[in-house]
Amino acid sequence: MSILGQPIDRIDGRQKVTGTARYAAEFFVPGVVHAVLVESTIGAGQIIGFELAGAQKMPGVLAIITPQNAIRLPMQKGSPQTVHAPLLQDMTVVYNGQHVAVVVADTLDRATAAAAKVRVQYQAGEPVTRMEAVLDQAYVPKHFRNGTRPPDSRRGDPDTAFFTGAVRLEATYVTPIENHNPMEPHATIARWDGPAGQERLTVWHTTQGISATQTSLAALFGIDPSRVRVICPFVGGGFGCKGATWPPAVLAAMAAKMVGRPVKLVITRAQMFTSNGYRPQTVQKLRFAAGSDGRLVSMRHDGFTQMSMPVLGEYSEPVGLPTEMLYDCDNVAVTHRLVATNASLPTYMRAPGEAPGDFALESAMDELAAALGIDPVEFRLRNYAESDPHEGKPFASKALRACYAMGAEAFGWSRRTPAPRSMRDGAYLVGLGMATSTYPTNRSPADARVRVTDRGATLVAVGSQDIGTGTYTVMAQTAASVLGVPVGWVRVQLGDSTLPKAPVSGGSQTVASVGPAVLAAAQSVRTKLFDMARADRWPGAPDAALRLQNGVVIGPDGRLPIAELMARRNLDSVEATEHAAAAPADSQYSKHAFGAQFAEVRVDPELGEVRVVRYVGAFDCGHVLNAKTGRSQLIGGIVYGIGMALMEATHVDEETGRVVNSNISEYLMPVNADVPAIAAIIVPSDDTRSNPLGAKGIGELPMVGVAAAVANAVWHATGVRVRRLPIRVEDLIAV
């Protein structure tokens, strides 16, 4: 049986549990000094001046960097991954918590103490803190999806068709600001080497994209990317907030340049709420109609995303994308608009667009199903899209029917009685809800190198990064499966920008992008070894007649150790580097993963407390390369979705624009006691039209639809339709 797909333990597990896996801030760099950020205490206005005498007198202080003495960066904009966030280049304050100074000292304690003594004089303005107050000033995004498509789409005539529907729904759904908060905060050690004009920058930096960081830092400091090295062997979680290169990394490099020493900058948990993006608030206006036959006749989805002031850049939460493609409907309109507030720049957060967008879409679908008196699963089947109605292409693969069927079966959906408040468990109200999940199957070009020694020891080298999902492990499995060696013979090297180039680990694309490159490089090595075996002993033997096993070529009539093949040629290893990218012909398909989410909740009718007591998710995520790490991601995504449904929200003070719950004690997230036993079903599926491994990506899919499934279950339990996340006790008390 192939090692691909097997539920093996992660190969870096031992390093992680013993603490030998080294994260960015843990590297020992001789002579390192420490930087601490100072943040604004106003939400909008101008800095008039700084009072630094007190801070400068503090022991160990090496530099205090402010907009008045900061290096002028030759370039602030350009690279798509570059954040145009405040980098101490001017005196304008556009959000509360904006970095306004950096204090560098010989120890972290001394830098922290001195930072507390920095005084900033402001001329404060009135911050805009509530998106809903300025919704009428919404504007059209300029770079929606990095300019790859327009922000709006339309097919048919949804506004006319709406009035032909037997059942019509007009509703507004609201999702809050959420912050990512991976266990490892943003951290960078920056060091400059070499004489002026030939400087080289090395950063030990936690990131989802070492190549993107390399490009961004090079652009910002005006040097060639070959002179920037990014090292990141382990990432303690990212979820999107480590996708771009945020100010702390840039400021660490700037500080290192200014003090002439390596500088370490680790941001605090509170600074995680103002320094590296967040999922913005959304307001989504939906107008759907269906005929009495249960067929959708009109869908209109107008999405508003809360943004920072435009000077910081642009980010749109693409909430309408699932609405375009998930159901077969002739009349569909989707729009995306931005609403500027005095907040930091938002960014991608796990299933950006799909997670909040699908909450609105799948809540509305539930509302329509109820109004029509049709079972929610049946309603979705009646509107099942056999091909992608937005792109007008066949799906590369789609096993969503099987997701509904297997999920419903495992969940026991058939025991649901349709009327709200019709199911009870003693004094508690019980509700069963479901929703559809979808996420695109992304892929980007990648390079990989594979080397096999004469003993069969195998090295896989690729400039990707393992963000905690299992990249080390599945790349070892991929190479092992081609080269016929145990996984234990494979060493995987990731997280160094000197390795062959790979894309950012975002958009759930790592396996689909990097996997094919590793596969191709391993196949090249195997071909080289087979060619040697053919030359030495089995001339003309087809590949099918040869196989590799534990460092031996097994041919039609015997065995040839690769050590002999290499010795005869004076080699101690055989190596290949390959480039892998989607073929142009692949674009004839629409590529998506799918899933069906089922939640059972128990609501205390007096206290309004909601508990998720049972959960089943069934997913068409293509071929899963490791059933253990894959299942772990599915469960993690569902937990993330339960947090979105019931707990997560970043609260902003309306007067000052300051985040008021900027720590994990007040930013609520599910703990073990909030999470029931979760059944994550991997539905048989293989998508070789998207990539040769047949994988569709697992990172984001499982959280899409969870919030809607829970909200739909809450409606079924209580009869209360909550259209604003998170669902709170206040929404349900004494129902």
Nearest to ligand MOS of 317, 600 (CB atom): 317
- Interface residue with ligand MOS, options 208, 298, 436, 685 (CB under 6 A): 208
User: What is the phi/psi pair of residue 363, to 5°?
Assistant: -70, -45
DSSP helix/strand/coil, 392: coil
Residues 243-272 that bind ligand MOS (CB under 6 A): 243
**Contact with ligand MOS (CB under 6 A): which of 463, 506, 657, 670?**
506
Least distance in angstroms from the C-beta of 104 to ligand MOS: 31
Asked if 240 interacts with ligand MOS (CB under 6 A), we say yes
Burial of 111 (0-12, 13-18, 19+ CB in 10 A): buried
Cα–Cα distance for residue pair 188/27, rounded to 1 Å? 10
Write down the least CB distance from residue 708 to ligand MOS, Å. 19
The DSSP code sequence of 416-448 is --SSTT-EEETTEEEEEEEEEEEEE-----EEE
Query: Can you tell me the distance from the alpha carbon of 289 to that of 269, in angstroms, rounded to the nearest whole number?
Result: 45
318 contacts ligand MOS (rule: CB under 6 A): no
Per the listing, tokens 């370490």 go with 264
User: Whole-number minimum distance, CB 504 to ligand MOS, in Å?
Assistant: 8
Is 507 among the residues that bind ligand MOS (CB under 6 A)? yes
Q: How far is the CB of 646 from ligand MOS (least distance, A)?
A: 21
The answer to whether residue 294 forms part of the interface with ligand MOS (CB under 6 A) is no
Name the 3-class secondary structure at 493: strand
Alpha carbons 580 and 462: distance in angstroms, whole number: 12
Is the CB of residue 465 less than 8 Å from the CB of residue 232? yes
Dihedral angle of Cα 70, 72, 73, 74, to the nearest 10 degrees = -170
Q: Verify binding: residue 348, ligand MOS, rule CB under 6 A.
A: yes
Q: Is 320 in the site for ligand MOS (CB under 6 A)?
A: no
352 binding ligand MOS? (CB under 6 A): yes
Query: Which single residue brings its beta carbon nearest to ligand MOS?
Result: 240
* Dist. CA 556–CA 540, nearest whole Å: 11
**Does residue 500 interact with ligand MOS by CB under 6 A?**
no
Q: Interaction with ligand MOS in 534-593: which residues (CB under 6 A)?
A: none
Query: Quick check: 421 binds ligand MOS (CB under 6 A)?
Result: no
Pairwise CA distance, residues 109 & 105, whole Å: 8
Where are the alpha helices (H) located in 278-374, listed in sequence order? 321-325, 354-372
> Cβ 350 to ligand MOS, closest distance in Å?
5
Q: First and final CA of the chain: distance in angstroms?
A: 55
Q: Which stretch binds ligand MOS (CB under 6 A): 344-352, 354-362, 425-433, 606-614?
A: 344-352
CB of 468 to ligand MOS, least distance (A): 11
Q: Which stretch binds ligand MOS (CB under 6 A): 50-58, 238-246, 303-311, 371-379?
A: 238-246
Tell me if residue 570 falls in helix, strand or coil.
Answer: coil
Give bridge partners of residue 188 from the DSSP assignment. 205, 265
Nearer to ligand MOS, 277 or 320 (CB): 277
Amino acid at 645: A
Binding residues for ligand MOS, rule CB under 6 A, total 11
Q: Output 308 or 442, the one with its CB closest to ligand MOS.
A: 442
- Site membership for ligand MOS, residue 238 (CB under 6 A): yes
Q: Give catalytic residues, as residue numbers.
A: 700
Q: Return the closest-CA partner of residue 438 out of 595, 329, 590.
A: 595
Any contact of residue 350 with ligand MOS (CB under 6 A)?
yes
Query: Least separation, in Å, of the C-beta of 700 and ligand MOS?
Result: 6
Q: Give the number of other Cβ atoms within 10 Å of residue 540's Cβ.
A: 6
CA dist 30 to 64, 224, 264, 404, Å?
22, 25, 11, 57
Rounded least distance, CB 129 to ligand MOS, Å: 25
Cβ proximity to ligand MOS: between 191 and 350 the closer is: 350
Q: Tell which positions 588-617 bind ligand MOS, by CB under 6 A.
A: none
Contacting ligand MOS within 89-148 (CB under 6 A): none
Q: Identify which of residues 208 and 335 has a Cβ nearer to ligand MOS in the complex.
A: 208
CA 407/CA 401 separation, integer angstroms: 10
Q: Which residues bind ligand MOS (CB under 6 A)?
A: 208, 238-240, 243, 348-350, 352, 506-507
